[in-house]
Structure 1
Amino acid sequence: MESMTELVVARQFSAPRTAVWAAFVEPEIIAQWWGPHGWAVNEESVVFEAKVGGRHELEMVQVGNPEAKVPLKAVLTTFDEYECLVSADGPHEMTLDLVIETRIEFKEFAGQTMLTLTQGPLPYEVVDSSTKAWHSALGKLESLLAEYF
């Protein structure tokens, strides 16, 4: 069996927690930043049901190659408003037939927000590329938030 691990990405945003939270739960905002550079999300593909058991779905499409698509079809397992979101995605081909949990925690201090994202289990060989993808996506979110805060 392959060795498994998890990735952890932390990022501080110069925006209040309510704004960062909204970027993860409002489909029209999710579509503006989700995915690494070079990928886009059509707002019509975004489903976010704000409750435990609710769906968190979207489809990323590679810019310049619309045939390259990556779906997210997760179910929320924790919905603690403004504090924590946890979702489970899989098992299916895109998750390597694993159930992958993504935990996103939001902490506010002095008008800024510290976001900590933990995702796994993941095979060691995908952790580096997945970490880079999350850093890229969160960079897009930071740029979006900077337009307002």
Structure 2
Amino acid sequence: MADSPATNELVITRIFNAPRELVYRAFVDPDQIAQWFGPVGFSVPRDTVEVDARVGGYQRLVMVSDDDPTMRSPVNATFTEVVENELLVGTEEVEGIPGFEGIAQMYMRLEFHDEGGKTRLVLRQGPFTEKMENMTREGWSSSFTKLDALLAH
């Protein structure tokens, strides 16, 4: 049976035990991105990360498999909306996703909400097939576990 068409939107809401400014910074600071981005089993070499957090700016990075460094997944995003400490919106092109041929194009919306000293992040990304949505949800969950550890320092 063929996978369903790419119509699913991934929505993840997560509370981080850190102020909104710190969580936002973790998404736009190249040094921090290199420490947490990517699911467990993948790393992001610092020299692959570039961020220009403004409308028309970009976020570029490469996820690399820890087990097989030849397995690389470049991510190139362009920001279409940026409100410091509140909102990052853009489009993404991602290559090298296991089970996916070519370049995947999608949108991403990250909302950072103050929750009394904590941060409620609402992430929207897509469109995905059902299979890709599930894989991506697992990947974000794994990444956010690494982000929790970084924010605890």
Mark the CA change 1:41 to 1:63 in structure 2 (over 3 Å): closer, same or farther: same
User: Does residue 1:34 correspond to 2:37, yes or no?
Assistant: yes
Counterpart CA distance in 1 for 2:142 and 2:12 is 11
Mark the CA change 1:109 to 1:53 in structure 2 (over 3 Å): closer, same or farther: same
The one of 14, 18, 23 equivalent to 1:15 is: 18
The one-letter amino acid paired with 1:33 is W
Counterpart CA distance in 1 for 2:47 and 2:95 is 22
- Give the aligned partner of residue 122 of structure 2: 116
Q: Once the two structures are superposed, what CA deviation does each residue of 1:43-73 show, in whole Å capped at 9, x if it has no partner? A: 1101111111111100000112100111101
Aligned residues with identical type, % of pairs: 37
Give the alignment's TM-score, normalised by structure 2.
Answer: 0.89
Where does the alignment leave 5 or more consecutive residues of structure 2 unmatched?
Answer: none
Counterpart CA distance in 1 for 2:113 and 2:139 is 22
Q: Would the aligned equivalents of 2:28 and 2:53 in 1 still touch at CA under 8 Å?
A: yes
CA root-mean-square deviation: 1.8
Counterpart CA distance in 2 for 1:104 and 1:9 is 10
Aligned residues between the structures: 147
User: Does residue 1:145 correspond to 2:148, yes or no?
Assistant: no
Q: Would the aligned equivalents of 2:71 and 2:96 in 1 still touch at CA under 8 Å?
A: no
User: Does residue 1:61 correspond to 2:72, yes or no?
Assistant: no
Where does the alignment leave 5 or more consecutive residues of structure 1 unmatched?
Answer: none
